[in-house]
Structure 1
Amino acid sequence: MIPQEKSTQKDRLLFAPRQLFGLRLGDILKFMSSLLLPLALGVFTVIITFQQQNAAKQQRDEDRKSSELQREQEKSLEEQRYKNEALDTFIKDMGKLLKENNGFLTANRVTATLARVKTLNILRELDAQRNMRVIRFLYEANQLAEVDGHSPLDLSAAELRDMNFRRLSIIKMKITNLSLTGVFLSNATFAGVDMEYVDFATNQFDNVNFFSDYINNVSFSFTRLNNSNFSYGKFRNANFLFSSLFNVNFSFSALINTHLPSTQIEHGNFSFTQLFNVSFSSAQLDHINFSFAQFYHVDFSSCLLANISFSHARFVDVNFSSATLQNVDFSYANINYADFSSAQLLNVNFSFAILPSTNFGGTAASYVEFRRATCIAVLFSSAILSESSFRHSNIKHASFEDAKLNNVDFFRANLYKADFSGAEIEDSNLQSALSTQDALKDDETVFHDRNLLNDDQYDCNISLDNSWILQTGNVTKRMSNKSNISCQFTLQLHNERATMLQRINLSNKWDSSTWPNSRAVLRANMSDGVSMRLKGIKRNCSASAKEIL
Structure 2
Amino acid sequence: MNKAEVLKRAHTLERISGVDLRGAVFQNEDLPGMIFDGVDFSAARFHACSLRESVFTDCNFTESVFEQVDISHAKFVGCQFRQAVLEGCVLSEATFDESVFQRAAFRDCRAEQADLIDCDFSGAALRGIALLECNVFSTRFEGADFTDADLSKSTLHELDLQETIFTRAVMRQMALSGCTLSNQTFAGQDLSETQFNEAELSGVDFSGCRMTMCNFSDAELVDVDFSGAQMRNTLFVGATIQKTRFVGATLPQSLWNNVLATDSDFAGAELSMSVFNRGSFQRCNFTGCDLQFADFSYAGLLDCRLDDVALNRTRFHRAVLDSEDIKRRPGAVERDDELFEAELRSA
TM range (shorter): 0.7 to 0.9
2:158 is the counterpart of 1:285:
no
Residues 1:331 and 1:192: Cα distance change in structure 2 (over 3 Å): farther
Match of 2:38 in 1: 155
Aligned match for 2:65, one of 151, 173, 189? 189
Q: Paired residue for 1:380, among 244, 249, 256?
A: 256
Alpha carbons of structure 1 residues 191 and 337: separation in structure 2 relative to 1, 3 Å: same
Which of 254, 261, 264 matches 2:137?
261
Aligned to 1:206: 82
User: Residue 309 of structure 1: SS of its match in structure 2?
Assistant: coil
The CA deviation string for residues 21-70 of structure 1, in whole angstroms up to 9 with x for no partner, is xxxxxxxxxxxxxxxxxxxxxxxxxxxxxxxxxxxxxxxxxxxxxxxxxx
TM-aligned CA distance change 1:329 to 1:202, over 3 Å = farther
Q: Please say if residues 13 and 33 of structure 2, whose CA atoms lie closer than 8 Å, have aligned partners that are also in contact.
A: no
Q: Which residue of 1 aligns with 2:146?
A: 270
Unmatched segments (≥5 aa) in structure 1: 1-89, 107-114, 147-151, 167-171, 451-549
Change (3 A) 1:164 1:346: same
- 1:367 counterpart letter in structure 2: K
Q: Is the 8 A contact 1:414 1:433 kept in 2?
A: no
- Pairs within 5 Å for 1:99-118: 106=15, 116-117=17-18
Q: Percent identity?
A: 19
The structural deviation recorded for 1:240 is 0.6
**Deviation (angstroms), 1:388:** 1.4
What do the CA deviations read for 1:342-381 (whole angstroms, capped 9, x no partner)? 1111222211110001000100111222122111111111
- Answering whether residue 107 of structure 2 is matched by residue 224 of structure 1, we say no
Alpha-carbon distance between aligned partners in 2 of 1:182 and 1:353, rounded to the nearest angstrom: 46
Provide the C-alpha distance between the structure 2 equivalents of 1:333 and 1:366, rounded to a whole number of angstroms: 20
Which residue number corresponds to residue 344 of structure 2? none
Q: Deviations over 1:470-491 (max 9, x none)?
A: xxxxxxxxxxxxxxxxxxxxxx
CA gap 1:93/1:449 in 2 versus in 1, 3 angstroms: closer
Query: What is the TM-score with the length of structure 1 in the denominator?
Result: 0.53
Change (3 A) 1:297 1:344: same
Distance (Å, rounded) in 1 between the aligned partners of 2:269 and 2:69: 48
* Equivalent residue, structure 2, for 1:323: 199
Distance 1:181 1:390, change over 3 A: same
Q: Offset of 1:202 from its aligned partner? A: 1.7
The reply to whether residue 412 of structure 1 matches residue 252 of structure 2 is no
Cα separation, 1, equivalents of 2:308 and 2:121: 46
Across the two proteins, how many residue pairs are aligned to each other? 323
Normalized per residue, the structure richer in helix is: 1
Give SS of 1:325's match: strand
Structure-2-length-normalised TM-score: 0.81
Q: Of 167, 175, 188, which residue of structure 2 is paired with 1:299? A: 175
> Which one has more relative contact order, counting CA pairs under 8 Å at least 6 apart?
2
Question: How is 1:305-454 mapped onto 2 (pairs within 5 angstroms)?
Answer: 305-426=181-302, 429-443=304-318, 446=327, 448=329
Unmatched tracts of structure 2, length 5 or more:
320-325, 332-347
Following the alignment from structure 1 to structure 2, what is the Cα–Cα distance between the partners of residues 352 and 222? 41
- The partner residue of 1:235 within 111, 115, 120 is 111
Identify if the C-alpha distance between structure 1 residues 272 and 364 changes in structure 2 by more than 3 Å, giving closer, same or farther: same
Q: For 2:125, which of 249, 261, 279 is the aligned residue?
A: 249
Q: What is the rounded CA distance, in whole Å, between the counterparts of 1:369 and 1:238 in structure 2? A: 37
> Structure 1 residues 435, 449: closer, same or farther in 2, change over 3 A?
farther
Q: 1:177 to 1:92 in 2, by over 3 A?
A: closer
1:332–1:353 Cα contact (<8 Å) kept:
yes
Deviation (angstroms), 1:262: 2.8
RMSD: 3.1
Shift in Å, 1:449: 6.1
Deviation at residue 308 of structure 1 after TM alignment: 2.4
Task: For residue 173 of structure 1, report the CA deviation from its aligned partner.
Answer: 4.3
User: How far off its partner does 1:323 sit?
Assistant: 2.0
Query: What letter matches 1:187 in structure 2?
Result: E
Structure 1 CA distance, aligned partners of 2:84 and 2:51?
Answer: 16
